A and B are shown apart, each in its own frame.
Chain A
Amino acid sequence: MATDNIEPIKRPFRSHILVFLAPAFLVYTAVMIFPLVSTLYQSFFSKDWTFVGFANFMQLFTDPRLSASFWNALSNNVWFFIVHMCVQNPIGILLAALLSNPKLRLRGVYRTVFFIPTLLSFVIVGFVWKLILSPVWGVTQGMMKSVGLGWLYQPWLGKEDYALTTLALISNWQFIGIPMMLIYAALLSIPDEVIEAAECDGITGWSQFWKIQLPLVLPAIGIVSVLTFVGNFNAFDLVYAAQGAQAGPNFSTDLLGTLLYRTFFGAQLQLGDRAMGSTIAAVMFLIILAGVCIYLFGIQTRLRRYQM
């Protein structure tokens, strides 16, 4: 184990760098960057293709309706992210930690099972949870009644106060496999000698986890956090599948992604507005870029990384 301070050998021009980079660079530029740039470019134009500079951005933040929708979506999105960070990731770490114990029986089965929800499409997840929580079908209601909690039941997805949190928890249920797998992989790559050395020093159980394993998997937790952030601020499908493009009830589940979709492509009789849609997309992009930069330059560089 050595810290990352050995410089790779420096050499003159190396054609293999180009060979390694070219395929990814070309496909990515042609099919992703070029189309995205040609879309974002529209944010500087009006609907009839005259150049308007930053007028669309001004409108987004000054028009009372648009800015209200935007701030509503942004604050919903922040809450959505908080729920993921406080529920999904800790549970994911806990499950990974339990599974990483090589003495644990049936760990292959658990690991396989926990990842199953992550495999399902949003169409399925949205539909299934809507059915399960449905007041008409009464599955949840019946189960809660049978344990004496019937009075607690609410039509959560239909209530402004609960719908967003309910959806966030459904999303946690769906994606818990991702933090679990990443951290599990990181825990497994901790060398046995480290663990053995700790045990010789009498550090076992939870204190071993807190003092030895957790610090060693911090980079993986960092990746998980930034992936969660990016995923949440791009999220769209689950809300769309469960609540529709209008993100009901009363826009309480509207995320930046659904606002963007509604604006860019339109919804029902609302016509799509490519210019304003692109403007919202550009703002979303800047928010995510800012978050990722904070991670890359503020956090990642301070994490100690170990070569094993």
Chain B
Amino acid sequence: MSKARQSPLRSIAAHAILLTYTLIALFPVYVVVVNSFKNKKGIFASPLSLPFGDLWSPDGYAKVWLRGDFPLYFQNSLIVTVVALFFVLLFGAMAAFALSEYRFKLNSLTGLYLALGIMIPIRLGTVAILQLMSSSGLTDPSGPFGRAAPLTALILVYTAQGLPLAIFILSEFMQTVSNDLKNAGRIDGMNEYKIFFRLVLPLVRPAMATVAVFTMIPIWNDLWFPLILAPSETTKTVTLGAQMFLGQFQSEWDAVLAALALAILPVLILYLIFSRQLIRGITSGAVK
């Protein structure tokens, strides 16, 4: 590629814009993290300075540690998010492939049906979902399956909730996979499952990565279904735990900021680990 004509001026302008936006994106996170290490007076008196000298105080974290089991909440969030994500990607890609690859009766109707879910918040079905889950014994954390039961209920809800968007985006991307390639595969004697898993899936990896991130965020951050389906101490997610904490200590800002920082950091770390995979997926998957 010949991008040698790139002028230094243009590159400086690009960096200026990107740096400005970096500041905007990170400022609130900075404010939370920095202030979570200060004492209450320091939080108010000098909110922007770094937590050194007599401002320094880990009291907020001590309070959070005493009153909430954040490692457990984190574990719950991770289990629910990862498992639901797995099912959304697998089932979603399969359905999207069927819809974009084959002409069959009811194709567009099925597509529309599967897309209905992005147009209406699943929260509205709460009462029926709760009845369904409780009649299947999936809301009781003290039953034979322990805390796995409410977590399974959450996974089911999030899988259903994530599917419409996944199918919608993935079928859009699957239409860009070359037919020649698939037909060549068929001539080589590959069956449809092999074509899907061996040929198509690797090619739509950028889209899969994108869908993975979009699906993960609302699941990780959801407050409502953990509150309804899994509110007990052993099944709380990070978001619910942090929210409860805000309710409990709403005027104790050192503790509140520490809880916020603890809720932000795990996602950040997870994302930093994940983003390498994600970006590798996006860049290497781009079909040339």
Contact = CB atoms under 8 A, between A and B. Distances in A.
Do A and B touch each other in the complex, judged by CB within 8 A?
Answer: yes
B66 interface: no
A278 B117 contact: no
B62 interface: no
A16 interface: yes
Nearest to A123: B243
A122 B223 contact: yes
Interface of B: 1-3, 5-6, 10-11, 14-15, 17-18, 21-22, 24-29, 31-32, 44, 47-48, 87, 90-92, 94-95, 97-99, 101-104, 110, 113-129, 132, 156-157, 159-161, 163-165, 167-169, 172, 175-180, 182-183, 186, 191-193, 196, 206-207, 209-210, 213-214, 217, 220-223, 239, 242-243, 246, 253, 256, 260, 263-264, 267-268, 271-272, 275, 279, 282-283, 286-288
A127 B132 contact: no
A150 to B, nearest CB: 15
A188 B286 contact: yes
A280 to B, nearest CB: 10
Contacts of B222: 121
Interface in A207-221: 219
Going nearest first, the 7 A-B pairs with the smallest beta carbon separation are: A35-B125, A121-B221, A35-B128, A31-B160, A20-B98, A24-B95, A288-B119
B172 A223 contact: yes
A44 B283 CA distance: 51
A2 B175 CA distance: 12
A31 B159 contact: yes
A2 B157 CA distance: 40
Contact of A36 (B87, B124, B193): B124
Contacts of A257: 121
B288 A192 contact: yes
Nearest to B27: A132
B196 A120 contact: no
A58 interface: no
Contact of A33 (B117, B178, B214): B117
Interface residues of A, number: 104
Given A119-B267, A281-B124, A289-B119, A20 B97 contact: yes
A189 B176 CA distance: 10
Contacts of A264: 124
A3 to B, nearest CB: 11
A205 B10 contact: yes
A139 B29 CA distance: 14
A285 interface: yes
Contact of B120 (A4, A104, A117, A288): A288
Given A128-B28, A307-B177, A16 B47 contact: no
A165 interface: no
B26 A116 contact: yes
Interface in A156-188: 173, 176, 178, 181-182, 184-185, 188
Contacts of A285: 119-120
A147 interface: no
B124 A112 contact: no
A109 B159 CA distance: 31
Contacts of B104: 14, 17
Nearest to B120: A285
Given A33-B116, A38-B125, A39-B124, A119 B102 contact: no
Contact of B196 (A20, A103, A236, A306): A20
Contacts, number: 279
A121 to B, nearest CB: 3
Please classify the interface of chain B as helix (H, G, I), strand (E, B), loop, or mixed, using the class held by over half of its residues. helix
A114 interface: yes
18 contacts: A4-B175, A8-B103, A9-B183, A17-B98, A24-B94, A31-B159, A32-B163, A34-B132, A39-B124, A39-B127, A40-B124, A95-B21, A105-B15, A114-B22, A124-B263, A182-B210, A289-B116, A292-B118
A235 B26 CA distance: 24
A284 B120 contact: yes
Contacts of B287: 189, 191, 308
B98 A196 contact: no
Nearest to B121: A234
Interface in A97-150: 98-99, 101-105, 108, 110-125, 127-129, 131-132, 137-139, 142-143
B66 to A, nearest CB: 21
Given A20-B94, A137-B47, A121 B10 contact: no
Contacts of B29: 116-117, 120
A39 B128 CA distance: 8
Nearest to A235: B121
A111 B176 CA distance: 25
Scoring B25, B32, B271, B275 by chain A CB atoms within 10 A of each residue's CB, the highest score goes to B25
Contact of B172 (A14, A196, A219, A292): A219
Nearest to A292: B119
Contacts of A113: 22, 25-26
B132 A31 contact: yes
Given A23-B90, A25-B95, A305-B176, 6 more contacts: A21-B94, A28-B114, A34-B128, A111-B279, A119-B267, A185-B207
Interface string A20-58: 110111011011111110111000000000000000000
B28 A132 contact: yes
A288 B220 CA distance: 25
